[in-house]
Amino acid sequence: MVLTKDGSVYIKIVYWGMVGSGKTTILETLYKITKESKKDIEPVEDLKKIEKASGATLHFDRGLFQSTKQKKIFYRVFTVAGQSSFSPLRSKIFQGTDAVIVVVDSQTKYLEDNVESLLELKNVAQDRLIKEIPVIVMLNKQDLEDTINIKDYELILEKEKLWHDSKHELHNWNPMIYGTCALYGKEKNVYRSFYECARRAFDNTNFPYPFIFKPPKPPDDLALALQTQKKSVVDDILLWEGLYCIYCGNPISEGQDVCSNCGNKVQ
């Protein structure tokens, strides 16, 4: 969560999931829904996408949304490239995340790939999921045949210690799991899942956050609030405008000929 000098609050939400799970389509549909209909959030800029000719995300997508009820609350929304070679970039994009939406390709044939993506997320988040970073799950592509259901994924979360029984103090903050369809015109729970994620990310009364937002009283409280912010807006601007290897996603310098990470020639 970032608090700027004018009192605006920026909350970072990341869509995380395996390649082809539908993250970009979800973000595109969310953009259209909130632009065309009156909702609690609305887009304040065009989506920024870096994609291959096939339409697959090459580095990441980004959008900025604003609360229609509290004008100084903004949501910076990212999707990550799902290819295994982009693990370093996914880790960098995840830095400063306030809430994460796990996008699952519900087809049973991709179950192992989905679990692998979840395990990577656990590793990147370093035991902060649920207790510090709210988690929402979208079982996408529920319009197709032979798909897993909510109970199936609950068992996966339970196995990975991301699902707590009724006696646990974090039970009420178990991930909400939505059966979804990302396609615009057939969409299901695209807005609802994002709204719940945004609500949890900004719930400053019940959620067990290490950082609680309180409106500052200048000048001393404002200075303190700025010191406690997790990540600056400038960092994300640099991340967006930076250069990355098209093969592994490793950051590269302007004029660099060969990627120091994978050894491929920079194009």
Q: What torsion, rounded to 10 degrees, do the Cα atoms 77, 82, 85, 91 define? A: 40
Q: How far apart are CA 267 and CA 255, in angstroms?
A: 10
From 20, 32, 81, 61, select the one nearest 186 (Cα to Cα). 32
What pLDDT does 53 receive?
46
Q: Is the pLDDT of residue 106 over 90?
A: yes
Residue 46 token pair? 């065009």
Q: Please report whether residue 117 resides in a domain.
A: yes
What pLDDT does 36 receive?
93
Q: Please report whether residue 107 resides in a domain.
A: yes
Phi and psi angles of residue 224, each rounded to the nearest 5 degrees, phi first: -65, -40
Report pLDDT digits (tens) over 16-27. Answer: 999 999 999 999
The angle, 0 to 180 degrees and rounded to 10, between the axes of the packed helices 87-94 and 111-125 is 50
Give 181's strand partners: 188
Report pLDDT digits (tens) over 12-61. Answer: 999 999 999 999 999 999 999 999 988 999 999 888 765 544 444 444 57
What pLDDT does 156 receive?
97
pTM for the structure as a whole: 0.76
Q: Please report whether residue 251 resides in a domain.
A: no
Q: Please report whether residue 166 resides in a domain.
A: yes
Q: Please report whether residue 150 resides in a domain.
A: yes
Q: Is the pLDDT of residue 241 over 80?
A: no
Report the CATH number at residue 83: 3.40.50.300
Which residues constitute the domain of residue 101?
A: 2-215
What pLDDT does 5 receive?
79
Neighbours of 132 (CB within 10 A): 16
Q: Please report whether residue 111 resides in a domain.
A: yes
Q: Is the pLDDT of residue 237 over 90?
A: no
What pLDDT does 267 receive?
52
Q: For the chain, how many structural domains are there in total?
A: 1
Using an 8 Å Cβ cutoff, are 135 and 238 in contact? no
Q: Please report whether residue 230 resides in a domain.
A: no
Q: How far apart are CA 230 and CA 180, in angstroms?
A: 31
Q: Please report whether residue 140 resides in a domain.
A: yes
